[in-house]
Amino acid sequence: MSRKLFYNLRIQAAEGGVRLSFYKSTPLFLSGSENGQPPMIRIYRKEEPAFSFNEDYGEYFDGLSPEQAEILFEGAMDAGNGRKYTYVDSLAKVGSTYAYWVSSDRGDPPVGPAAVRVRDAEIWWPQQEIDRRMERLSAMYPQLVTLKSFGRSVRGADIRGLLVGNAARRAAFIGLIHPGESGPELIIPAVERLLRDNGDELAHAGLAILPAVSTDERERLVHGHPGYLRTNGSGVDINRNFPAEWEETDYSYGLDTSDPDAITYRGPRPCSEPETRAVISFIHEAKPRCVFSFHCLASICGPAFFASKYARNDQAFSERSLPLLAAYTKGFYGLEDRPVRMSYACSSGSLPAWLYKELDVPGFDLEWEGEERSRITHTDKTTRELLRDYQDRHYQGMLSVLRELRERCEFD
């Protein structure tokens, strides 16, 4: 078998298309051009419509061959510094998943596949967009909004949040504890609208938001990583890394939290991850009366509230929690009369477990509420229309929680 003439094939979905880069491998780089002729490079692309987010993973692409692929490009290319090639596929479609390969006319085996899923930047916001919106709010409402850094991610990204309005009665909203799930696209528009339309409320009850905790791996999804991602950049599940019965192994989803290969790995020790520590310093600073942490999938979650399993038989906890959850549910559904959905499902090492055990603060993961119309989020088919509807509903839920906090704290 002849040598592969290229290596380090990288791929990124970005504005305007899919960007490929790859390098001449050592033999090609050292031999230079053959008979004075540069190699003719071929770039192959194959759409993979069968790939399904959260049902298929990276292994889907293993062993795929370019046999039925289309040739996107064929010809000589200029190499940067004599070695690096780049190519932009501007015909890639949003919502599609593709595999790419590269080879030349020298009979070398193709390099690849490199896989990418092209996502809608209106549904999966890049970190830049999150930063831009939070900075704008702190500039527009300097009396009401404080933008603050609470730590850095494994790869050094700033994990920032906003403290908004009344500091004595705050509700906290946290996003992207799990990178493939939800947060900024629901939380930030709600805060924007609250400041614009109902700023008076914020004198009586306030908010604290930390919309993008696992920002590193979220960015990989924004830039086209095809499958679901759950852990941070070090392979740790942040929702198992909190110091709340951390050493108690949890076996949810057929996985084992002590197993470093599992996507629910709890980490080498409690609070080992900078993202976990950022959430903790955010909570210590915000001192919220209640905490809502957004989960489910592909930028959408519903009002199904998961509390710490340790709170199961605690009457006082449910008495304190239910009015808040009833307020959220009522706001979310408006005139429809819906029951509160609450279960004691959050495991050892989770944020709700830590809030309950260490701070005695009601904290909840928000999960899928079982509506058929939002089932599409499970396979990354969230539409702009569905997102707009959920943005509106979470805004109403948030407003309703603030009003509940105002009333219940009247006599504090």
Binding site for Zn ion (CB under 5 A): 178, 181, 295
Give the nearer residue to Zn ion in terms of CB position, either 298 or 311. 298
Shortest separation between residue 295's beta carbon and Zn ion, angstroms: 3
Nearest-CB residue to Zn ion?
295
Helix axes 215-222, 127-140, angle to 10 degrees: 120
Give the nearer residue to Zn ion in terms of CB position, either 157 or 301. 301
Q: What is the CA radius of gyration of the chain?
A: 24
Check if the beta carbon of residue 236 is closer than 8 Å to that of residue 315: no
Shortest separation between residue 245's beta carbon and Zn ion, angstroms: 18
Residues 245, 236: Cα–Cα separation, whole Å? 16
Shortest separation between residue 178's beta carbon and Zn ion, angstroms: 4
Shortest separation between residue 244's beta carbon and Zn ion, angstroms: 16
Shortest separation between residue 43's beta carbon and Zn ion, angstroms: 37
Give the nearer residue to Zn ion in terms of CB position, either 181 or 273. 181
Residues 285, 132: Cα–Cα separation, whole Å? 23
Who contacts 127 (Cβ-Cβ below 8 Å, separation ≥6)?
157, 212, 215, 218, 219, 222
Shortest separation between residue 352's beta carbon and Zn ion, angstroms: 11
Q: Which amino acid is at 168?
A: A
Give the nearer residue to Zn ion in terms of CB position, either 92 or 355. 355
Give the nearer residue to Zn ion in terms of CB position, either 160 or 230. 230
Shortest separation between residue 230's beta carbon and Zn ion, angstroms: 7
Apex CA 76: angle with CA 74 and CA 80, to 5°? 120
Give the nearer residue to Zn ion in terms of CB position, either 181 or 185. 181
Give the nearer residue to Zn ion in terms of CB position, either 275 or 404. 275
Check if the beta carbon of residue 222 is closer than 8 Å to that of residue 117: no
CB burial of residue 77 (10 Å; 0-12, 13-18, 19+): middle
Give the nearer residue to Zn ion in terms of CB position, either 85 or 124. 124
Strands 290-294 and 170-174: parallel
Shortest separation between residue 210's beta carbon and Zn ion, angstroms: 15
Beta bridge partners of 11: 20
Helix (H) / strand (E) containing 160 = strand 158-164
Helix (H) / strand (E) containing 332 = helix 315-333
Shortest separation between residue 232's beta carbon and Zn ion, angstroms: 13
Give the nearer residue to Zn ion in terms of CB position, either 19 or 295. 295
Shortest separation between residue 253's beta carbon and Zn ion, angstroms: 11
Q: From 146, 285, 282, select the one nearest 202 (Cα to Cα).
A: 146
Give the nearer residue to Zn ion in terms of CB position, either 165 or 183. 183
Q: From 316, 278, 296, select the one nearest 152 (Cα to Cα).
A: 278
Strands 158-164 and 206-210: antiparallel
CB burial of residue 14 (10 Å; 0-12, 13-18, 19+): middle
